[in-house]
Amino acid sequence: MHSLTNVVERPRSERTTLARAVPTTEPEEIPVPPSPRPIAALDTADLERLHEVPMFRQMDAEVTAVVLAGAVPKRWDRNCNVMLQGATADAFYVVLDGWVKLYRLLPDGSEAVVSVMTAGESFAEAVMFIGGRYPVSADTVTEARLLRIEASALRSAMRADGRVTIALLASIAHHTATLSEQVRLIKALAAPQRVADFLVATARRTPPAPEKGRLTLKLPYDKALIARRLGMTPESFSRALATLRDHGVVVSRDSVAIASLSRLESFARERGTV
């Protein structure tokens, strides 16, 4: 069992300054983010999570072992920086538990949320294929357990076995399709439907996954981030939640009661006016 050490979190103001200071050509080296707390190696549940990741779904045990050479899952506190936009891309990550926000820092210092990843998902593997620097930053938005996979191990596995390259390309294609679907939903669905779709997806991820009945779930992260993730303002998000009362949704702080999941899902699939 590895010993636990505390995370020293870099202040957000300092991270923002660093990321914005990276020039478009010949960028300066950026300090490595603070180390998280090491924990025990992969267990059976972790391996099951790993095989939910598109890159590892069809990969046999021998090849997987090569890719995971030296990889150890680690625990991160909430609001810790995992990787920094503009830093040298030397690893990618698999989320074993918790939630991680991917975002770009804009010239005015604001954040453009690209995605929010959870258990069974991976991020930053595309840049492993082309090399270079991270195009986005990543912060934990809850406590999280992440598996860091070194770029050197992945590239060695790619040279040794062409199936690894195929798996990596499949993973990149999956992320592209997911991002395209997110954009489609933002363009095609009205705000209440987007929120309904988000709640249904969250319910499906909450074990045991319900099929259609009444349930209560906890919002996975704060409402402001959910709003940005869905391409709306916090005010629009609040109005959308109010609209969903007519569809059996009652919100109290971060708790959501849903009278009928199938009814809410039917509403989310309607094609209304944005």
- The three-point CA angle 216-219-224 to 5° equals 145
Helix (H) or strand (E) holding 99: strand 99-105
Question: Start-end ranges of CATH 1.10.10.10 in the chain?
Answer: 189-269
What residue ranges of the chain are covered by domains with CATH 2.60.120.10? Answer: 12-185
Q: Which residues contact 88 (CB under 8 A, 6 or more apart)?
A: 29, 30, 133, 134
Task: Give the three-state DSSP class for 156.
Answer: helix
Give residue 225's pLDDT: 95
pLDDT tens track for 86-128: 999 999 999 999 999 999 999 998 899 999 999 999 999 888 8
Of the candidates 160, 167, 165, 117, the one whose C-alpha atom is nearest the C-alpha of residue 137 is 117
Of 3.90.79.10, 2.60.120.10, 1.25.40.390, 2.40.70.10, the CATH number of 12-185 is 2.60.120.10
Rounded to whole angstroms, the Cα distance separating 92 from 88 reads 11
Domain 189-269 has CATH 1.10.10.10: yes
CB contact at 8 A, 127 and 133: yes
- Cβ count near 205 (within 10 Å): 12
- Take residue 233 and report the two structure tokens written for it: 């303002």
**pLDDT under 50 in the chain at which residues?**
1-11, 13-14, 16-25, 38-40, 273-274
101, 192, 209, 254, 261 from 214: Cα distances, Å: 29, 19, 12, 17, 6
Strand order in the sheet with 255-258: 215-218, 255-258, 249-252
Supply the pLDDT for residue 130: 77
Rounded to two decimals, the pTM is: 0.77
Quick check: bond before 208 cis, omega within 30?
yes
Give 135's contacts (C-beta < 8 A, 6+ positions apart): 85, 104, 127
Phi/psi for 165 (5° steps) reads -60, -40
Per the CB < 8 A criterion, the answer to whether 97 and 130 are in contact is: no
pLDDT for res 241: 96
Phi first, then psi: what are they for 175, rounded to 5°?
-65, -40
Cβ–Cβ under 8 Å, residues 159 and 151: no
> What pLDDT score was predicted for residue 119?
92
At 7 the pLDDT is: 41
